[in-house]
């Protein structure tokens, strides 16, 4: 038994340390089952002070640390790899809501809080916490901060970093960095908050964060829209932003193929509108403003009027408006089931990518054509947050292909799409991060100068490469 | 003549280098006349490549570099100090607008562009560039980025970093970091953009930036409001945010003393409402949403209705609504003249500070009382962006005091206010930065752990301490 286990038990008590193989195993594999590794133990601190003590112990005993939240990441950033002695530091039990300050419109939460529990706690206080994503029932806010998570409310509220006003983190030195004052303006030196957010546990272990709260939206309005032309989609996006401002909450795009796949696996979602055009949009608006002067739903009127104009000029082919909150949720259920449908296919390749919105149409046209030419019949499951310039551009095998099709073509397909992303000045990771999955592409993608800056910062803040080694950047040991 | 001058001339031509004492002098002093230093020359590159060459030259010849934009900073961050050989690198001539991409709603500008010229260029294209501050006629966007400037539109749009999607910068190595793709989502490694923004030229020389554009607001509505109680102010702020959402553009606060001072020096601004209460608010809303369903000005109605409710319940003492765009501008002119009035007093001490909004009332009450007790009759010129938690809490001598009053008490007053800021968990610099002015307070204020992180990052990215030495952090040479 490695010395670290006894020392961790001294620090955390018996209940705070897992070290039997079968107890540790679930933490050593990502939920998609793509990555796995070994760890000596899982340490489960309940306080920031305990996190600091664990880091000091690991430093002393030369044991590496893999921080982990809800283990819902998509890039293997929280999964151990390599054969250096290492532990998983699970933040799950560091899960108190420290403060809701309604007069400052902020909440201070510890890293292990489940995202959905924060949403619920804030809703109960009469305010609104906007961060929302598919894994919200099991992901932790510490993981959201470590990866700068995106999700479905980015168009109006921004990414995780945009709603976070400050963090607390344990550094590789075992010291605690803390800046939880809840300030909306603070120009006192370098922006350490944003450096740690999105660094995937490689520069520090985020233990708490303070977030902005917002007034609750009400009167949601949504529509499904059948549309062929990506440029017209962008025009419609800007028209709605001009007319509805920030009340436009979501502008999601789904390709016909992604809906056909979903209906094949979940026939209950079949709707005539999905086969009418190359793409279906899911558009959502919400009232954020109390308007006593009119009884009508103002944003619904804006949405109707705008879509009518687009129908008349032939820029869209069809539109269906939700007539109830239940129908709004039903529209979203379709969107959410694309991922589940994909999981039923024999292998698939996922790309979480982004572009200047002005370049999306050309990227899709060019990349669709090249893929079909080189991999005839490949299913392009293209959907995503068009309003943010973010596509989930995923590939499944042709319908009649053998079960090892994706396995055989994965490398070529990946390299082709990544070359296209470079060509159209896009990003290889819009919201999922780098982790292990995209590490080998990072230097070429961001360029040597940016990569070397990152390496220099990693060395400066974690000279012994103690924290989440070999994630985001390759270890240089 | 130092060897650098000849080498700079070879690189930039004769017109690109100032080295005569009288030509260099204006660049060596900040505009408030508080800081001054010496420089061998002023280098004025026209391209990013030239900036890179200058950095390489300076590295070779061991000459330090002080980057400078419009020289409108308030903390001495762009003014040379010390006696090491150094040059000023003026970005003024690097001033092209590289691209306006309306389909992506972005603009790409070089560092030397004057802020106001960007606003005008964008307005001419039909869009809106929100960054706006008093110095906009002479400050450059590079300086705005280097200091993460705030200004009068932060409540709705955020600080400079919030509207910037990417930057280009020359590093201490002479290499060019570039990430100008205009992406709204990009999780590819550490957040280098935000690290460089606000680093005041100490980590890199920002040469260009890409910014979000927005739909133009219209139908501005504004009111002056007389109010005694700071807690009621905060309640009114939240009521307006709940009712008008992001259409609330400004929520500015001015103490009675700050208005009395302004009227004393500029009697034309006298208005009965200013003497009615301890504080006057300047509130502005604007319509951002085309609403064809009603001919009325919706935000004006919200403002009127809300203020009427507050009048009825006695939470405010008086209110005056602007009845024209000209009157909205007149309201702002009063706010802008506070600073000019202060400049006419014999000495003053400026604090640009911020707090959680929930703590502002207690800070003001406590600090006002202690100051009056220790410095009887001191004029507390307290005004600022209450909606952001940001106060410009400034001090002038008592009306009958000798002209050296401030000089004699500056140190004690400063330390008293800074201790109060610490006590109420505030920031010693909300939007102006650190520069030379607040350097000695930074370590204590942010704590040793944060300060040492900043020092480590500075050493990692600028190991020879070439860029703007001794600003923000003390040089450790």
Closest CA to B190 of B5, B460, B474: B460
Predicted local distance difference test score (pLDDT) of residue A477: 59
Instruction: Measure CA B397 to chain center.
Output: 25
Nearest to B298 among A243, A291, A451 (CB): A291
Is the separation of the CB atoms in B354 and B425 below 8 Å?
Answer: no
**For an interface test with B, which of A185, A423, A449 has the most B Cβ atoms less than 10 Å from its Cβ?**
A185
Is the separation of the CB atoms in A384 and B185 below 8 Å?
Answer: no
What is the DSSP-derived secondary structure letter of residue B34? S
The packing angle between helices B439-446 and B405-423, to 10°, is 20
H or E segment and range at residue A265: helix A256-265
A264 and chain B in contact, CB less than 8 A: no
Closest CA to A470 of A38, A71, A77, A24: A77
Predicted local distance difference test score (pLDDT) of residue B219: 81
B362 and chain A in contact, CB less than 8 A: no
Contacts B150 to A, Cβ<8 Å = 185, 187
B376 and chain A in contact, CB less than 8 A: no
How many angstroms separate the CA of residue A216 from the nearest CA in chain B? 8
CB proximity under 8 Å: A 301-330 to B: 301-302, 305
- SS3 category, A222: strand
Contact flag A191-B198 (C-beta cutoff 8 Å)? yes
Is the separation of the CB atoms in B78 and B66 below 8 Å?
Answer: yes
CB atoms < 10 A from the CB of B215, how many?
18
**For an interface test with A, which of B149, B188, B305 has the most A Cβ atoms less than 10 Å from its Cβ?**
B188
- How deeply is A47 buried, as exposed, middle or buried, from its count of CB atoms within 10 A (0-12, 13-18, 19+)? middle
Contacts B446 to A, Cβ<8 Å = 179, 188-189
Contacts B455 to A, Cβ<8 Å = none
Percent of chain B with pLDDT over 90: 87
Is the separation of the CB atoms in B322 and B221 below 8 Å?
Answer: yes
Residues 6+ apart with CB under 8 A from A416: A370, A371, A374
Residue count (chain B): 477
CB proximity under 8 Å: B 120-149 to A: 147-148
Contacts B362 to A, Cβ<8 Å = none
B356 and chain A in contact, CB less than 8 A: yes
The pTM of this model reads 0.97
Closest CA to A72 of A137, A130, A156, A164: A137
Contacts A390 to B, Cβ<8 Å = 184-185
Contact flag A457-B291 (C-beta cutoff 8 Å)? no
Contact flag B181-A427 (C-beta cutoff 8 Å)? yes
Instruction: Measure CA B251 to chain center.
Output: 17
- SS3 category, A458: helix
Is the separation of the CB atoms in B190 and A195 below 8 Å?
Answer: yes
CB atoms < 10 A from the CB of B463, how many?
11
How many angstroms separate the CA of residue B365 from the nearest CA in chain A? 17
The Cα B389–Cα A101 span in angstroms is 14
CB proximity under 8 Å: B 4-63 to A: none
The packing angle between helices B439-446 and B448-461, to 10°, is 120
CB proximity under 8 Å: A 88-117 to B: 101, 103-106
Q: Which residue has the tokens 């919706």?
A: B298
Instruction: Measure CA A170 to chain center.
Output: 23
Per-residue confidence in pLDDT tens, chain A, 477 aa:
899 999 999 999 999 999 999 999 999 999 988 999 999 999 999 999 999 999 999 999 999 999 999 999 999 999 999 889 999 999 999 999 999 999 999 999 999 999 999 999 999 999 999 999 999 999 999 999 999 999 999 999 999 999 999 999 999 999 999 999 999 999 999 999 999 999 999 999 999 999 999 998 888 899 999 999 999 999 999 999 988 888 899 999 999 999 999 999 999 998 888 888 999 999 999 886 665 555 467 788 889 999 999 999 999 999 999 988 899 999 999 999 998 999 898 888 999 999 999 999 999 999 999 999 999 999 999 999 999 999 999 999 998 999 999 999 999 999 999 999 999 999 999 999 999 999 999 999 999 999 999 999 999 999 999 999 999 999 975
Contact flag A429-B298 (C-beta cutoff 8 Å)? no
Predicted local distance difference test score (pLDDT) of residue B290: 61
Nearest to B245 among A162, A288, A461 (CB): A288
Is the separation of the CB atoms in B168 and B179 below 8 Å?
Answer: yes
Predicted local distance difference test score (pLDDT) of residue B299: 84
Phi, psi of A253 (to 5 degrees): -120, 140
Taking phi over 0 as left and psi of -120 to 50 as alpha, with beta for the rest, B13 belongs to: left
How many angstroms separate the CA of residue B111 from the nearest CA in chain A? 20
Predicted local distance difference test score (pLDDT) of residue B46: 98
The Cα B286–Cα B300 span in angstroms is 8
| Burial profile B24-44: b = 16 or more Cβ within 10 angstroms, e = fewer | beebbbbbeeebebebbbbbb
Residues 6+ apart with CB under 8 A from B458: B202, B203, B465, B473
Number of H helices, E strands in chain B: 16, 17
CB proximity under 8 Å: B 182-201 to A: 182-192, 194-195, 197-199
Contacts B453 to A, Cβ<8 Å = 171, 177, 190, 192, 461
Q: Are strands A352-354 and A379-385 parallel, antiparallel or unpaired?
A: unpaired
CB proximity under 8 Å: A 199-218 to B: 199, 203, 215
B295 and chain A in contact, CB less than 8 A: no
Predicted local distance difference test score (pLDDT) of residue B325: 86
What is the DSSP-derived secondary structure letter of residue A132? -
What is the DSSP-derived secondary structure letter of residue B297? -
Contacts A244 to B, Cβ<8 Å = 289
Contacts B234 to A, Cβ<8 Å = 103
CB proximity under 8 Å: A 242-261 to B: 242-247
- Average pLDDT on B384-413 reads 94
Closest CA to A363 of A446, A426, A294, A442: A426
Instruction: Please work out, in degrees rounded to the nearest 5, the angle formed at the alpha carbon of residue B362 by the alpha carbons of B358 and B363.
Output: 100
The Cα B412–Cα B436 span in angstroms is 19
What is the distance between the terminal CA atoms of chain A, rounded to a whole angstrom?
26
Nearest to A356 among B106, B178, B434 (CB): B106
Least confident of A337-346, A356-365, B53-62, B86-95: A337-346
The Cα B307–Cα B251 span in angstroms is 13
Residue-wise DSSP of B174-228: SPEEE--S--S---SSS-HHHHHTTSTTSS-EEEEEEEE-BPPPEEEEEEEEEE-
Closest CA to B282 of B239, B329, B242: B329
Question: Chains A and B: how many Cβ contacts under 8 Å?
Answer: 280
Contacts B457 to A, Cβ<8 Å = 190, 195, 457, 460-461
The Cα A216–Cα B37 span in angstroms is 53
- Residue A210 Cα distances to A110, A118, A166, A202, angstroms: 9, 12, 5, 21
Residues 6+ apart with CB under 8 A from A448: none
Nearest to B425 among A181, A241, A291 (CB): A181
pLDDT digits (tens, 9 = 90+) for B256-315: 999 999 999 999 998 888 888 999 999 999 887 665 555 467 788 889 999 999 999 999
Phi, psi of A427 (to 5 degrees): -115, 140
């Amino acid at each position: 038994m490695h010395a670290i286990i006894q020392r961790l038990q001294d620090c955390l008590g018996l209940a705070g340390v897992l070290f039997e193989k079968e107890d540790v195993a679930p933490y050593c594999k990502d939920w998609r089952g793509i990555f796995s590794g070994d760890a000596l133990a899982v340490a489960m601190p309940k306080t920031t002070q305990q996190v600091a003590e664990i880091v000091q112990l690991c430093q002393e005993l030369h044991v590496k640390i893999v921080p982990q939240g809800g283990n819902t990441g998509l890039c293997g950033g929280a999964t151990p790899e390599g054969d250096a002695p290492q532990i998983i530091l699970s933040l799950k039990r560091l899960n108190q809501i420290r403060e809701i300050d309604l007069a400052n419109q902020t909440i201070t939460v510890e890293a292990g809080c489940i995202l959905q529990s924060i949403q619920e706690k804030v809703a109960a206080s009469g305010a609104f916490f906007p961060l929302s994503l598919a894994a919200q029932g099991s992901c932790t806010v510490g993981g959201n901060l470590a990866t700068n998570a995106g999700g479905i409310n980015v168009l109006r509220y921004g990414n995780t970093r945009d709603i976070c006003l400050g963090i607390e983190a344990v550094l590789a030195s075992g010291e605690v960095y803390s800046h939880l004052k809840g300030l909306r303006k603070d120009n006192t030196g370098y922006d350490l908050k944003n450096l740690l957010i999105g660094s995937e546990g490689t520069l520090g272990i985020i233990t708490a964060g303070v977030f902005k709260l917002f007034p609750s939206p009400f009167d949601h309005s949504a529509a499904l829209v059948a549309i062929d032309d990506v440029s017209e989609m962008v025009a419609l996006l800007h028209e709605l932003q001009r007319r509805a401002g920030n009340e436009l909450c979501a502008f999601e795009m789904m390709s016909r193929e992604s809906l056909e796949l979903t209906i094949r696996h979940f026939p209950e979602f079949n709707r005539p509108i999905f086969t009418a055009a190359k793409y279906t949009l899911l558009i959502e608006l919400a009232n954020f403003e109390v308007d006593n002067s009119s009884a009508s739903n103002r944003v619904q009127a804006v949405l109707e009027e705008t879509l009518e104009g687009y129908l008349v000029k032939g820029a869209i082919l069809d539109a269906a408006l939700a007539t109830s909150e239940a129908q709004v949720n039903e529209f979203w259920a379709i969107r959410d089931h694309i991922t589940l449908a994909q999981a039923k296919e024999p292998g698939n390749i996922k790309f979480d990518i982004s572009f200047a919105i002005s370049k999306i149409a050309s990227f899709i046209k060019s990349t669709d054509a090249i893929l079909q030419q080189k991999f005839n019949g490949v299913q392009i499951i293209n959907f995503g947050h068009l309003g943010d310039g973010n596509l989930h551009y995923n590939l499944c095998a042709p319908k009649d292909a053998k079960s090892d099709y994706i396995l055989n073509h994965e490398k070529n397909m990946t390299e082709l799409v990544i070359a296209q992303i470079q060509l159209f000045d896009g990003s290889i990771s819009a919201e999922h991060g780098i982790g292990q999955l995209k590490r080998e592409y990072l230097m070429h993608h961001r360029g040597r100068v940016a990569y070397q800056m990152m390496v220099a910062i990693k060395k400066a803040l974690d000279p012994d490469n103690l924290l989440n080694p070999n994630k985001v950047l390759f270890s240089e040991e």
